[in-house]
Amino acid sequence: MTNKTVFVATCDLAAQVRGRAVPASRLEQTLRTGVGWVPANLALSCFGALTPDNLFGSVGDLRLLPDPDAALDISDDGEIPGTRVYLADQTDLDGRPWAGCPRNFLTRALDDLFAATGLRVHASFEHEFMLGGQADHPPFSFQRLRAAEPFGTELVSALEAAGLEPESWLPEYGSGQFEITLRPAPGMVSADRAILMRELVRDLARRRGLPVTFVPIADPADVGNGVHVHFSLSDADGRPVMFDADAPGRLSSLAARFAGGILRHAPAVVAVTAPNPSSYLRLTPHRWSAGGAFLADRNREALLRIAPTVQIGDADPSRQLHLEYRAADATANPWLVLGVLIRAGLAGLADGEPARVWPETATEADLAAEPSLPTGLAEALDALESDEVARGWFPDELLSTFLAVRRAELAAVSGLPEIELCRKVARVY
């Protein structure tokens, strides 16, 4: 490795990647023992302020212990040196997992899913973002794609070189909006890749002098930027378990029960997956984001959508069928997002009640009685705090700090006009 520095990082409750850099010459030691960290760092808001009256104060010490398999190399670029980024677990000084670590939250959810059911998750986080400095070319057009060069080709090449397995890069509907998708990967790998991909996009845009933002919505009058989480379940031998050719939506009873848990706990889940005040300007009907807490076949207004399968070239639909969760955005920590989806799904498997599958032909009138999503962050956070089952998914340190951080962010933008709220959040994300 020719890089001179290594950055050891965590993704915090505000979905900010924070950590410490060390000389590359200390990599071997750093991989063994990590770098120092502070519990109170968990209480930083997205705007950079330490949340008042946090649990930790000025005492306590942790380690950021890098995962050797969760690394991203950024190459030299002219006078700008390259670096390597490692995602890390937050641990106590003896190496035991720290209860406040968001990555450990996902680790435990994945382990508990397998222990209880023998199932594993594959997932992919589909990101939309706004790239500045672009001419006003038509949505989805070849013109817009080419006008963004060489950024687009450089981004895809960098993702491939980093082993993040990009699937597609496309101009989207909104002004200056683009979408990047990655191949499905095992649960932890998919969340790690989501975090690293965001930082790679930001780093490349910064080097090219292009403003970029993953803000949930840049202008209340425009479209939003979502993070759609595609996920499937398989057994211990890798066989898919979500497909049943004779069931509504071809969704197996097990998958419908898993989805039922997500829908029953939707307000609490949304508090984690859409955790910014600006998130709720996007989560309204007719924005193709998520218009209600229901499960539907190929309906982009559904909180949970049964994604389409293809039969071209004798493709096997049983290995393609999966669910798409549509109420997440890039203000959310991917480890927490996938973790709460798994926890809610496990709750659904435990109570045994499958979700209703609405057909693609369901009309708006048909769906009118389906539950709506929270209308704002305060409502969502209250729902999370009052959901006894959902509270049990979190260690006390993690839940209380999450609620404190997100309520502090809400207070920081209180009274701002919607457009100013969007601009303030866009500068962060």
- The model's pLDDT over 60-92, given as tens digits with 9 standing for 90+, comes to 999 999 999 999 999 888 889 999 999 999 999
Question: pLDDT tier at 313 (50, 70, 90 boundaries)?
Answer: confident
pLDDT band at 294 (very low <50, low <70, confident <90, very high): very high
Cite the beta strand spans of 160-279 per DSSP E. 166-171, 177-182, 185-186, 212-213, 227-234
Q: In percent, how much of the chain has pLDDT > 70? A: 100
Same domain for 89 and 114, yes or no, is: no
Per residue in 224-278, pLDDT tens? 999 999 999 999 999 999 999 999 999 999 999 999 999 999 999 999 999 999 9
> Do 94 and 116 share a domain, yes or no?
no
Cβ neighbours of residue 62 under 8 Å, at least 6 residues apart? 36, 37, 38, 39, 90, 91, 92, 93, 98
Per-residue pLDDT band at 52 (split at 50, 70, 90):
confident
Residue 71 maps to which CATH number? 3.10.20.70
The answer to whether residues 115 and 208 belong to one domain is yes
Last residue of a domain, one of 54, 82, 98: 98
74 & 109 share domain: no
As a whole number of angstroms, the distance between CA 238 and CA 371 comes to 34
- pLDDT classification of 352: cutoffs 50, 70, 90: confident
% of the chain residues with pLDDT over 90: 91
Q: Copy the structure tokens of residue 17.
A: 């990647």
Which pLDDT band, with edges at 50, 70 and 90, does 2 fall under?
A: low
Q: Which of 98, 113, 139 is the last residue of a domain?
A: 98
Question: How many CB atoms lie under 10 A from the CB of residue 253?
Answer: 12
pLDDT at 385: 98
Task: Count structural domains, the chain.
Answer: 2
CATH code, domain carrying 386:
3.30.590.10
In tens, the pLDDT along 103-150 reads 999 999 999 999 999 999 999 999 999 999 888 899 999 999 999 999
* Judgement on whether residues 94 and 121 belong to the same structural domain of the protein: no
Confidence class for position 285, pLDDT limits 50, 70, 90: confident
- 376 with 422, same domain: the answer is yes
Cis previous bond, 150, omega within 30: yes
* pTM across the whole model: 0.96
Domain coverage including residue 304: 105-428
Q: What is the pLDDT of residues 182-203, one digit of tens each?
A: 999 999 999 999 999 999 999 9
Among 98, 130, 165, residue at a domain's last position: 98
Say if strands 83-91 and 62-74 run parallel, antiparallel, or are unpaired. antiparallel
Domain co-membership, 166 together with 212? yes
Residue type present at position 157:
S
CA pair distance 73, 255, nearest whole angstrom = 37
Task: Give the separation between CA 190 and CA 199, rounded to whole angstroms.
Answer: 15
204 and 236 within one domain: yes
Q: How many CA atoms lie within 13 A of 422 on its CB side?
A: 17
**300 and 269 in one domain?**
yes
**Calpha distance 60→62 (Å, rounded):** 7
Asked whether the predicted pLDDT for residue 340 surpasses 70, the reply is yes
**Do residues 207 and 325 both lie within one domain?**
yes
